[in-house]
Each structure stands twice: as structure tokens, then as C-alpha cells.
Amino acid sequence: MKKPASEHPRATASGGSDAGPTTRSAPDPFTAVLPAIAALGAISSIATINWSAEERTPDRPKTRRRASTALRDLETCCMGLIEIFRRFQRNPKLFCGEGATVNTPLKFGVHGVRVSADTARLYQQIVNDVASMLVLASQNAFDVMSAVEDGEIDAPEEVFFGFGECQEALNELIQQRATLKASVDRGLEVARRLSTLVAELKKHVE
């Protein structure tokens, strides 16, 4: 005999005021959080270009964007990601694993909650913003890396070490299978640090 929804083990994980007959199951919050972390990873990959850049050749294809423009747009991405992680924190039940699953490590299928129609719309809005930010962060980071390789940005090694530290912070989340809340909190820290580093790169445009 099928158990009523109220008796199902997953039903107690959501808690809060959204539980009720008018709610729906929301998609797994990691489907929003992981792409946001990936966007941070795209920006922090700037670390590698300082050591992997190849010597310029006369027939090297030129980038279409000015380094200053790419950096400005990348800084905007960082600010956008800061706000996204703040929105995650402002909705802990939906994005931080608040409730019975708060201590569960990085894993799909255990953080789903039942949400109201308004909360479902909020979820979709944030997912749309994260998707857009992932695309923009990847493209802008690529253009900045190209500008570094072409000599248009000549920053000291310490700046690239900073990007490398951000990479390591993100790698630790994966290696340690951090909780959803820890992933969100660390993501916000890294987004802030990346914003500072990109601002520093802007000072070294040739």
C-alpha cells in the first residue's frame, strides 16, 4: 500500500511554511548551485594563463574585444555572481539545505523540497540568472585570458596566484563533498575575492 505523502521520509526534510496541499516538488537545488560554482571556476581559470601562454607569432589571430572592455564585463559578472550567492543565502530552505538534510554532503537527490508557486517562480528566475552568468563568465574569462596571452594585460604574478587560490577553494568543495550550505558560503567568498582580483587586473592594461 502506498504511503501518504505526509508519511514519506522525504516529506519531513522540507519543513517550513511551504509544506501543504498547494505545493509542488522543486528541482534539486544543486542544479542551480553547481552551475554558479562552475561560473566561478571559469573566472578563476585565469590563473593558468600566466604560465601556459604561448609565445606570440605574427599570424596569431587577434581578439575582437579590447582588454578593458572584457575586464569591465568580467567584473560585472563577478558582481552578478556575488548577488546570486547572496540570493541563495536569503533562501536557505531552497538553496542551502536547511532542515533535515543540512549536514548531507554534495549529492543529488536528497535536498529537494516542496515549494509554493511563488517560490517555484523564484527558483526559475535564479536558475535563468545562473545560466546567463555561466555563459557570460566563460566568454569574458576567455577574452581576458587571450588579452593576457597577447600582452594587453601585464599583471604581476601575485594576481594570478590569487586566481589560483580561488581555484583551490573551489576544488576543495568537490574533493571534500561539502554540504550545500558550505558550497554556497564558500561560493560567496570566492565570488568576492574574484571581483577584487579582476579589479586589480584592470590596473595593468597596457
pLDDT tens digits, 194-203: 999 999 999 9
For residue 87, give the DSSP letter: H
- Return the closest-CA partner of residue 23 out of 112, 91, 117: 117
Q: What is the pLDDT of residues 166-183, one digit of tens each?
A: 999 999 998 988 888 899
Please check whether residue 186 is in contact with residue 36, taking contact to mean a CB–CB distance below 8 angstroms.
no
- CA angle (102 as vertex; 98, 129 as ends), nearest 5: 55
Please check whether residue 102 is in contact with residue 181, taking contact to mean a CB–CB distance below 8 angstroms.
yes
Spatial neighbors of 137 by CB under 8 A, at least 6 apart, are: 39, 40, 42, 43, 74, 77, 81
Distance between CA atoms of 205 and 184, rounded to whole angstroms? 32
- Rounded to two decimals, the pTM is 0.80
Q: What is the pLDDT of residues 102-152, one digit of tens each?
A: 566 676 655 566 666 777 788 889 989 999 999 999 999 999 998 998 889
Distance between CA atoms of 32 and 78, rounded to whole angstroms? 17
150 lies in some domain:
yes
Number of domains in the chain: 1
Q: Which three cell numbers stand for residue 205?
A: 592594461
58 lies in some domain:
no
11 lies in some domain:
no
Residue tagged 594570478 (cell numbers): 160
Confidence label for 83 from pLDDT (cuts 50, 70 and 90): very high
Query: Which domain covers residue 140, as residue numbers?
Result: 22-52+65-204
Q: Which three cell numbers stand for residue 58?
A: 605574427
Please check whether residue 99 is in contact with residue 16, taking contact to mean a CB–CB distance below 8 angstroms.
yes
200 lies in some domain:
yes
57 lies in some domain:
no
Please check whether residue 36 is in contact with residue 130, taking contact to mean a CB–CB distance below 8 angstroms.
yes
76 lies in some domain:
yes
